[in-house]
Structure 1
Amino acid sequence: MERLELTELADLLREAAGEDQAAVLDENSLDTPFAELGYDSLALLQVSGIVERDHDVLLDEEALAEAQTPRQYLDLVDRALAARAAA
């Protein structure tokens, strides 16, 4: 099953926020809110658009608004990918 990996999310966020703004995103920061990591809603919106395009999946906007940490975001994307694969 296809998954969005933490390293891919980190790369996408770094590109969206800019190298200077990027915080380290690793296993230790999975439950840290994006805001505390320095990523705003615009960066997440950009990343979501790229994920939808590159992985051919539609992400639920309400669920996206509730995904406040990298772990929650990855879980959301992985559920969408699993649903697409099951269809």
Structure 2
Amino acid sequence: MKQLKLSELTALLRECAGEQEDVDLEGDVLDIPFASLGYDSLAMLQTTGRIERDYEVVLDEATDVAGTPREYLEAVNRALSAREAV
């Protein structure tokens, strides 16, 4: 079963919205709010669109309210699991 990993998410964030110089996405960022990492709602919208296209999954509002990478990954991986169960 395909699951999105933190390393894949951070790579997509960099591709879709760049990276602030003072933020280390290689560190322990699972519970740091996206806003503190330098990613606003537009960056997350772009990342979500990319994931939907690349993984052929429809993401719901759970990804819209996910405030941290951990919450976002959980929402994405639930959608991926549900898609595979069909």
TM (norm. structure 1) is 0.89
Identity in percent:
59
User: Unaligned stretches of 5+ in structure 2?
Assistant: none
**1:27–1:3 distance in 2 versus 1, CA, 3 Å:** farther
Aligned residues: 85
- Report the equivalent of 2:24: 24
CA distance in 2, matches of 1:50, 1:68: 18
Structure ranking higher in helix proportion:
1
CA RMSD, Structure 1 to Structure 2 (Å): 1.4
CA drift at 1:30: 0.3
Once the two structures are overlaid, the 10-residue window that deviates more, 22-31 or 69-78, is 22-31
Q: Letter of the aligned partner of 2:14 in structure 1? A: R
Deviation, 1:27, is 5.6
Separation in 2 of the partners of 1:27 and 1:77? 21
Partner of 1:48: 48
2: CA distance between counterparts of 1:59 and 1:27?
A: 26
Q: CA deviation at 1:34?
A: 0.1
Contact 1:6 1:26 in 2 (8 A): no
- The residue correspondences of 1:1-87 to structure 2 (distance < 5 A) are 1-19=1-19, 21=20, 23-26=23-26, 28-60=28-60, 62-87=61-86
| 1:5 CA drift (Å) | 1.0
Task: Normalising by structure 2, report the TM-score.
Answer: 0.90
Write the distance in 1 (CA, Å) between the matches of 2:52 and 2:24.
23
